[in-house]
Structure formats: structure tokens, C-alpha cells
Structure 1
Amino acid sequence: MKNKIGLGLIGCGLRGTGYFTTLRYKDFNFQVVALADVSERNLKSANAKYADNTAKMYKTGDELVKDSSVDAVIVATPNKFHRDPAIAVMNSGFPMLLEKPIATSLEDLTAIWSSSQQSQAKVVVGFTLRYTPFYQTIKNIIQKGVLGQILTINAEEMMSDRLSMIFCRSQWRHDCNLTGGLLLEKCCHDVDILNWISDSKAVKVSSFANRSFLTPGKVPKRSCDKCPEKKICRFSREKLLSSFYDNVTETKTDLNHLYSELINNECPYHIGTPYPDHQSLLISYENGVLCTFNVIQAQPANRRTIHILGSEARLYGVIDDNCFTIFHRTGPNNEKPEVIRVDCDSYGHNGGDPVLATDFIDLINGKQNPSRPGIKEGIESAIICLIGDKSAETRQSIELTEYRNQVFADTNISRSAVIAKPLAVN
């Protein structure tokens, strides 16, 4: 019997190697035995940091899955390139942690679903929010019937200036063709939370998106490093990096490395990215639940909020505060607040990363988890995001049945159905 789990990683960027950091933090007995990436720099960096230069290095996932020392694989390439390595891993029979979103097109979602059904692979999708004590506690409260019948859910993600600039200036996330769009890249695990809490199938989406703040005309067009306002501009690279220099941890050092590589010569007002700087998504579910979700860039701080309204009570919370309030019905026009504070590990995604890492090890060891998000949950979330962008582009509400049937290979639906494209805002 092997003493350590042999892990392989396909895609050795910040998120992929971050899983190794989290597994170390949880003190799991594993060894990084194989790495695959198109970047020799990424390969050598990950090998030195996580394997003492003992891991085998490959250019492709197809090569890595042939390595006999591998027991399980993490796939964390840029979003557009998830399909081929994910299929290779599933067809090779390895347990897999597949980073979200699982794919960027309906065509790729279809291929991944087909492979998962043929291989019966063991997969967990990296929906970290589902693993946070905050949302786990809320889910338990709903299941106990405290809120009564769920009627509506309103949620928001606010992106700080610093986070917003990743979608303007980073090495690949600035390109919506690689990410699949803002909703898919940034918010697919928020959508998974809505699906999970609603406990139903989404049947229709409508979305509106604009880029009306980070636009030309706000400031003269200049390169950032030559701009006379760079000392005071909230979006200057110098300003964004300065807040990372205090209280540095290993994770923050990695983030600092990410921000240090931002393309720094273009002004965010003129950079021409197709991402919206704010977008609203409306989802109608089969059981009658209605959801609204807003994502907004250029906010004072990163924050996620949720407001769930039921027939007996409502709940409002902020994950960043690890706190929510239940407003209980006390009369025909009265409510009484009950504040609930959630204990959680402060590490990674509000404590979600360590729990996800634990569930990945449980998956490898054959343990079941009824709340574990797999390929089906990943597809449901991705369809909503992709068709949400299509709705914003066409300015029409869209039924999801045709697209869901296409992906899940319903024989009555033509495979030639339209493939949704990432939203581009002019």
C-alpha cells in the first residue's frame, strides 16, 4: 500500500498550485508526482515549490495521465482549455478535481458530460462557495424549514478595484474568449449556490449588462506608467499593489505575484475589454423560486451578500462578515431579528478551500458526500451563465430546455443548436 497519495496537476498557475498549498495547510499525506503545463516557467516553479524538483514534468495532460505514479489529478488550466485534459483524466479512471467553470461552450460541456457518463469517473468541481460554513449553515436552516417556502433569493458579488483590474490587465483573464465571460469565470459558483439553495432546476433566464463606468471619456487616453495621475489614480498598478505589502502570508505572496504581472501600461478606462462592469441575472426555477444576482466591478471592497425571502421568515447575510440575520415573523406586520455568527477557518474563500480540499481527499478514498458538486452541477451552472450572457446580448429572456437537452444529449434535440458565446459589451 502506498504511503502517500500521488497527485498530478494539469495547469500549474496560481489556482492549480493553490490547491497544493491548501492540502499542505490541512496536512494531508500526499506527494506531487506529476505536473503538466505549456509554460516551462510554471512547471519549474511548481516543481521547486511543491515537489522539491522531484515531480515529472509534461507539456500536456495526455502525457501526464500515462504516468503510473499518479493516483488522482487536479485540472486547473485556463477555462477554455478544460475539456481535453478533463476528458483524458476521466477516461484514464483517475479521481479528479476540476476547477470551475468546467467549460466555456455548450459544445465542450456536451463532450465532458458524454465522457463522464461513459467513464463513470469520480469528479468534484471546484465550487468553493458550496463548501463554506456560511452557505452550509444557510442550507441547513432552509432544509429545517425555518424560512418556510422559499420565494425569492437576491444575491450580489461586489468586486473591489484590485479584483476588477484582473479582468482588465491580467495575463489571460482579461480575454473573455479564454474565460467564457464575466458571469462564467467569476460567478459560476455563485450561480451554483442559487441552484443549490433553490433545490430546483432553472427553466428561464434573463440578463442585462452594461459597461458604463470604466469607459473612454472619463480621463484622457494615456499609458498607465506615464500618466501624471498614477500616484492618486485608484486603478494604477502602484496603488493596487501597495495594499499587499503588509501582513504577507504565503497565499498573499502568491496573489502579490499575480498582481505584479498585471499588464500595466494601459488605462482601464481605455483598455477596450468586452467585460461589463455591472450585470444583472434573473433566474426562474421550476419550483417557483425567483432569483436575482448582481455582479458589480469597481467597488470599495470584495463582498458577497444574500437575501432569502420565505413564507415564514427572511434571511440576510454577508459572507465576508461570517454572519447572517434571520427575521422571524412575529405578527401580521412584525418581525424579530436573530443574529447568527458562523465559525469558520479564515483560510481561502471564507473557509471553503480547506473543506473542498478535504472532500477531494475523501473522493480519492471513495467516501460519499451527497452535497458534492460534480459534472452535472457544473454543467447546470455553466448553462445559466452562458445563456445569461446570450440573453444580455439579445435583450430577450431565454428558456433553458433546448440548451440543457443539447448538453445532456437528448435524442430529440439537434446537436446543431446554437452555441452561446461569451458576452461582449460595446
Structure 2
Amino acid sequence: MRLGVIGYGARIRGILDIIERLGADAQVVAITDVRNDEIREEIRRSGRDPSAIRFHTDGDEMLEEGGLDGVLIGTRCSLHTPMALKVLRRNLPLFLEKPVATSMEQLVQLRDAAASSKSEVVVSFPLRVTPLARLAKEIVESGRIGTVEQVQAWNDVPYGGCYYQMWYRDENETQGLFLQKATHDFDYINHLLGIRPVEICAMTSKQIFRGQRPAGLRCDECPEQDTCLESPYHTFFTRMETDRVQPSGLLCAFAVDTGNEDSGSAIIRYETGMHVCYSQNFFARKKAGRRGARLYGYLGTLEFDWYTDEVKVYMHHSPRVETYRTESAHASHGGGDVVLADNFIRVIRDGARSVAPLEAGILSALMCLKAKESAATRAFRPVAFPDREPPC
């Protein structure tokens, strides 16, 4: 299998590494990126020969040369849709990093292009296929807790500093943290429920990562090493996350150009009338980190958390609590990345169907964009495209 890559970043390198470890007969034969000289050197340092790879700076040029069995896209977020459109026009199997779009205009373009394409697309939604989520879905579908009538879900991100001190802080690129994080959570919730969201409201706050320090200030240059808890000094001395005080290269999280909200919540109503409450937080740290949900039925409550690697079932009408451990937290994205990589290979080789299809990515991105719109307008918004919204 001959693979092409558009955007040879850390995420796609991780998926390619899993494909190699799966023993698949797959080779990267073409790369489109703006860092080609660096990438050649990275490949050489890894002990491989880059001479067999065609390097491009234009995606169309790479695709026009042909000879590809599948394409992986791992560019910055704002380019996911433009690059995906190029692949969809050529009907090639596609692995697409999330979010699948960062604006409503892009999402409409992607929806319309998908409708006329034969490409089978695997969206980078690992949570829905982790052993933890698969077990939760098995329990829900068994009817053991009854029909799910409410969900409370949470994502307390203990590594949230990257959204304020690295390139993610640029809201022009990310378009906010619903699209960056909640797109995963909305997807696995939709997957577990098997019903369609119809309305959403949301709120965001920026209470911690804001300030008046100069734009472009880096932690290594800042005079407030002793007082700032995000400084290289406190990363070592207080948080014990490095083995010494050392340069970090990180940008100041409290500068005037620090983007992104640092917490957000959404309430989603589904077609049956049930609703979901979801919250995400980006200044929780260490053991405060958690990601999971509680699903409530009349017969019982199901709870799971990727950080504890546990699923619990609390029966409502008998004195019984069931606990399951999946032992998969150590794996990449809780074991979901292995499933996605394996599925992508089977899509190319065997014509298999995607376990994380493009329509799921489009729906999740639509929910995120509508949540962002709701937070800005302080109003409920229908989970529908502008050209398909119900009349007022």
C-alpha cells in the first residue's frame, strides 16, 4: 500500500508508527509539507532512507502524480477541509485529523463534497473505538440500565497549558476549544446514544489564562520566574514535571495575545427529548484530570473515566454495583488509535467501512460551531446547517 501524507506532523507520524507496528505492508511514498528539509533529516535520523519519498509543497501536485492507495491529512486545523476536498475529488481513502472543519463555510463545502465522493474517510476520533467506550456501548445496548434519558459528561484537561502557550493559542487557527476538544466528546456521546442532537446552548469563560503581559513574551525571557506557576522554575520545583529548571520555549499564558477560553459548558437536547450536560476545563492539573461520563437510565447508571480506566454500573433497583477495568489507559488515546490505524489499512486493502465515518465528524463539528455560536449570542441554536435550519 502506497500512502501519501499532507501535513507530516506529530499526530500523523504517530498513526504511521502504529501502521508500521501492525505489520501492514504500507509505505509512505509522498509527503506534502512546508518543512520538507526538516522532515528529510528527521527520517534520516530515524534510520530510514527518504530518497524513496516524493516531497511536495502543493497537495494538488502530489495527488496529480498519482500512484497513491490512500492519503492521511494532519495539517494545522484550518487546512483540514481544503486538503480533504482535494482528496475527496479523487475518491481516495482518507484518514482525516479532527476537527474536520473550523468554520461553517468549510463544513458546508465538506458536506457537499462528501455527497458526491466515493472516498471512505476515517476521522481521527479514537475515543469512540477505545475498549472503554466499546464496553460502555455494549452495556447501553444490552438494556441493562434502561433507555438512557440523561448524560452528564466532563473533560478536565490536566495538560491544558498547551492551548495557551503553544500554537494552539491562536484562535484564528483553532476557532476555540469546543472544536479542539469537545469534538471528540460530542462524537462519543452521539455514538453511545445512537440518536440525533437537535438543539444546543453553551457558555464559555476565560478567567485564568488572561493578562496584560506583552504579546509574544516567552517564559524563558520573563523576569517573574519565582512568582509565575507556569514558569520553568515552578514546572520543576513546584509541579515536579521536569528533571531540572530548563528552557521551555513556551509563550506566556498571561499575555495580551493569549487566545482561547479556559472553561466551557454545553447543554444538548436530542430528538427523543433527553438531554446531555457537558463541561470542559483547561486549568485543572495532575490528579484532577478526568474524562468520561455518566449515562442515566431508569434501571441503572453507567459511569466511565478514561483516566481511571474503569466502567461502573450502579443498579437502581437492586443492591449491586458492577466494576470493569479495561487496562488500556497506557495505550495511545486509550487504545483507540490502534483501532483507527488498523481500520484505515483495512479500508484501503479490503474495502472495509470506516469505524469513524465522515458524517460523524461533520455532525460533531456542526455541534461545536453551534455551541460557539450559542456562547457568543447567549441563545439556543438548532443543530442544523444554515440552509437547513427549521423556520423560526
> When the two structures are superposed, what TM-score results if normalisation uses the length of structure 1?
0.82
Q: What are the ranges of 5 or more consecutive residues in structure 1 without an aligned counterpart?
A: 247-258, 407-411, 414-426
Q: What is aligned with 2:108?
A: 110
Distance 1:281 1:50 in 2: 47
Please say if 1:358 is aligned against 2:354: no
Q: Which residue, out of 60, 73, 78, partners 1:62? A: 60
2:31–2:53 Cα contact (<8 Å) kept:
yes
CA contact under 8 A between 1:17 and 1:46: conserved in structure 2? no
CA distance in structure 2 between the partners assigned to 1:51 and 1:88 by the alignment: 29
Structure 1 residue 232, shift from structure 2 partner: 6.7
Cα deviations by residue, 1:224-254 (Å, 9 ceiling, x for unpaired): 33445425743124655873669xxxxxxxx
Preserved contact between residue 209 and residue 258 of structure 2 (Cα < 8 Å): no
Matches within 5 A, 1:127-142: 127-142=125-140
Which moves more between the two structures, 53-62 or 35-44?
35-44
C-alpha separation in 2, matches of 1:81 and 1:312: 46
Q: What's the CA shift string for 1:67-101, capped at 9, x where partnerless? A: 33321100111111112211111212211101111
For the 8 Å contact 2:87–2:94, the answer to whether it is kept is yes
Shift of 1:287: 1.8
Q: Which residue number corresponds to residue 182 of structure 2?
A: 187
Residues 158, 41 of structure 1: CA spacing in aligned structure 2 closer, same or farther, 3 A cutoff?
A: farther
CA RMSD of aligned residues (A): 2.7
Residue in structure 2 matched with residue 300 of structure 1 by the alignment: 285
Task: Indicate yes or no: 2:368 matched with 1:385.
Answer: yes
Unaligned runs of 5+ in 2: none
1:24 paired with 2:8, answer: no
Residue aligning to 1:400:
383
| Other structure's SS at 2:209 match | coil
Distance verdict in 2 for CA 1:359–1:222, change over 3 Å: closer
Name the count of aligned residue pairs.
381
Counterpart of 1:67, as a letter, is E
Equivalent-residue separation in structure 2 for 1:238 and 1:64 (angstroms): 45
Q: Which residue of 2 aligns with 1:419?
A: none
| Match in the other structure for 2:359 | 376
Verify the 8 A CA contact 1:205 1:284 in the aligned structure 2. Answer: yes
Deviation at 1:214, TM superposition (A): 2.4
Which residue of the partner structure matches residue 329 of structure 1? 316
8 Å contact 2:219–2:250 — kept in the other structure? no
The answer to whether 1:224 aligns with 2:219 is yes
Q: Partner amino acid for 1:188?
A: T
Contact 1:280/1:292 (8 A) holds in 2 = yes
Q: Write out per-residue CA displacement over residues 36-81 of structure 1, whole angstroms, 9 at most, x where no aligned residue.
A: 0122345324543485212110002111112333211001111111
Which of 49, 56, 74 pairs up with 1:52? Answer: 49
Call closer, same or farther: CA 1:61–1:42 in 2, change over 3 Å. Answer: farther
1:203 paired to 2:198: yes
Q: CA deviation at 1:262?
A: 4.6
Shift of 1:394: 0.9
Decide whether aligned partners of structure 1 residues 328 and 367 sit closer, same or farther in structure 2, where only a CA change above 3 A counts.
farther
Task: Give how far 1:307 is off.
Answer: 0.8
Partner of 2:298: 311
Call closer, same or farther: CA 1:217–1:103 in 2, change over 3 Å: closer
Q: Are residues 50 and 290 of structure 1, via their aligned partners in 2, closer, same or farther at CA, if it must alter by over 3 Å? A: farther
- Residue 11 of structure 1 corresponds to 7
Q: Percent identity?
A: 27
Amino acid at match of 2:374: S
For the Cα contact (< 8 Å) 2:210–2:258, is it kept in 1? no
Q: Partners in 2 of 1:350 and 1:245 — Cα distance?
A: 26
CA change 1:79–1:223 in 2 (3 A) is: closer
The alignment partner of 1:150 has SS state of: coil
2:366–2:384 contact (8 Å) kept in structure 1: no
Q: Which residue of 2 aligns with 1:349?
A: 333
- TM-score, structure 2 normalization: 0.89
* Secondary structure of residue in 1 paired with 2:282: strand
- 1:12 touches 1:46 (CA, 8 Å); kept in 2? no
* Structure 1 match to 2:307: 320
What secondary structure does 1:359 align onto?
helix
**Offset of 1:14 from its aligned partner?**
1.2
- Secondary structure at 2:160's aligned position in 1? helix
Residue 173 of structure 1 corresponds to 168
Query: Alpha-carbon deviation of 1:188?
Result: 0.5
